[in-house]
A and B are shown apart, each in its own frame.
Chain A
């Protein structure tokens, strides 16, 4: 079919030149070449599913933070920054840094020492098959849906920004991801994530540099925002948090600190296997502990390329952007702010770099989900319940087939979402149902040796049901928002924080109550799985500057300084 027909032109935000297309084509050629090159190294199960457990702290750390730096996040959070101002940075700072440091210093030793392949795998060792199966099945189901959502989102962005045909984007992206992940497994996914990390930084960093030049620096940008939107505060993090009525998100500091900082972020960064899998690929325990801490420094800097462009959009764009569901033809949505800023400052070549960064982000999102799905399906569902004793090579083949089947299901999901666009919101909401209670279950399992098998399972189940119930009640009748969120003004992001907080609290309460009426496991069965019974290897030859604790504390100190600067 003629390429020109496939790239059917519709009114677009930007137009690519020949050099931009060359940049995009080179990226596809490079990732496919890397995939074929890595195929020869992905021979055993440990190679294919955990990249041979031989990544350095830097590679694992960059892959860890990149797995969460997909284009869906970039476009969405730049749009959120335009809508809510610098409040959106809470998701990058209080909503990430403490959790990443906690993962590295406290939780990573247990994941690593137990030699588990996955988070459900840890639950199986700690609690038994019930909690593990619930977690594995829900996670496998959700990752595959999320991969489809990424595919659909990429196709839509490419259609809106470049005028590319929806089917063309879906076919090309899924074929490319399928080939390189099926070939090299987690090796390929991690290599691509590191490439994506550099692409996103070099593709997006020019926007704040040139944007601040145009706006007259930070103070000039703030003055322009105040002039364009009088009486509204878009540039303070904590000042407008005293009451839900004082900020555009309708949220109080309690929800940010306890809902986002203590439950959602802890749940996501420490128990979502998509990100934890990257750290498990580290070549020793010290690297596994350092990887999330290295990631935390880069995560702290991400608002520079995501939040600042959203704020600059408020300052310099000649139009007012509108919510996605209210956009009329000819109007731009909040989520268009990043492509608009890219088109504003980036000429030929630079535009291609920015668009390639977005494509790489989407494909890394798909690859991350598909590789995590293949691991959880093979090790936590197929091996324990369907075929227990098989040669290692059989499980590697299963992983490769899972990658292909996972992508086919993702394509189905992508087309399902094109039919019912609101499904995208629900898929993302579904994902959040499982993460918050899972954190309660894993944390109690690691820190409290008394927690029992049935308590782990029932606590997790009760937490998930609480999450589903609060979500449904708030959607069906808005009066429940005031009950669960202590303010009827709470916007969807604020509702998600309260929903997570309730789910985690119920999970912990049920786990504790059931534990006291059930028999505990013997101590010797819990060695290497629980804090009080595990001897974490001591780092004898490391100077203070080489210890994860030192860098963890530096990360936390920088985090506090940022809060004070932007208070």
Chain B
């Protein structure tokens, strides 16, 4: 949140983006394990969408929590 304008920090939006994408990609990866597709990508057995989706989800949760508007408001109130 900017000092002058009280704008929600861009990191919060980054967090929301990563969180939603992580959840979608992880869910797709888990679904694919139980329902393997016919056309598979190279090195499908690595299940990249599971662990990459997981990484995005964890980062998304962290950024969304760390820079949430409520936390930022509390931080600014404390500083002032």
Contact = CB atoms under 8 A, between A and B. Distances in A.
Contacts of B20: 26
A332 interface: no
Contacts of A198: 14, 17-18
A213 interface: yes
A466 B12 CA distance: 48
Interface centre among A30, A37, A213, A348 (most CB of B within 10 A): A348
B56 to A, nearest CB: 6
Contacts of A353: 21, 25
Given A59-B10, A198-B17, A202-B18, A347 B40 contact: yes
* Chain A interface mostly: helix
A187 interface: yes
A347 B14 contact: no
A56 to B, nearest CB: 9
Contact of B4 (A26, A52, A206): A52
Nearest to B46: A210
A348 B3 contact: no
A467 to B, nearest CB: 37
Nearest to A342: B41
Contacts of B5: 41, 47, 52, 54
A450 interface: no
A347 B46 CA distance: 11
B24 A345 contact: no
A195 B29 CA distance: 24
Nearest to B6: A41
A199 interface: yes
Interface string A338-372: 00000111111110110000000000000000000
Contact of B46 (A19, A37, A213): A213
Given A30-B16, A52-B5, A195-B17, A210 B43 contact: yes
B13 A345 contact: no
Contacts of A54: 2-5
Nearest to B37: A347
Interface string A4-26: 00000000000001010011001
Interface in B1-46: 2-5, 7-8, 10, 13-14, 16-18, 20-21, 24-25, 28-29, 32, 37, 40-44, 46
Closest 3 CB pairs of A and B: A349-B25, A349-B28, A41-B5
15 contacts: A23-B21, A26-B20, A30-B16, A30-B17, A34-B13, A52-B2, A54-B4, A194-B10, A206-B48, A343-B41, A345-B41, A345-B42, A347-B32, A347-B44, A350-B25
Given A199-B17, A345-B42, 7 more contacts: A26-B20, A37-B8, A54-B5, A202-B18, A214-B43, A345-B41, A347-B32
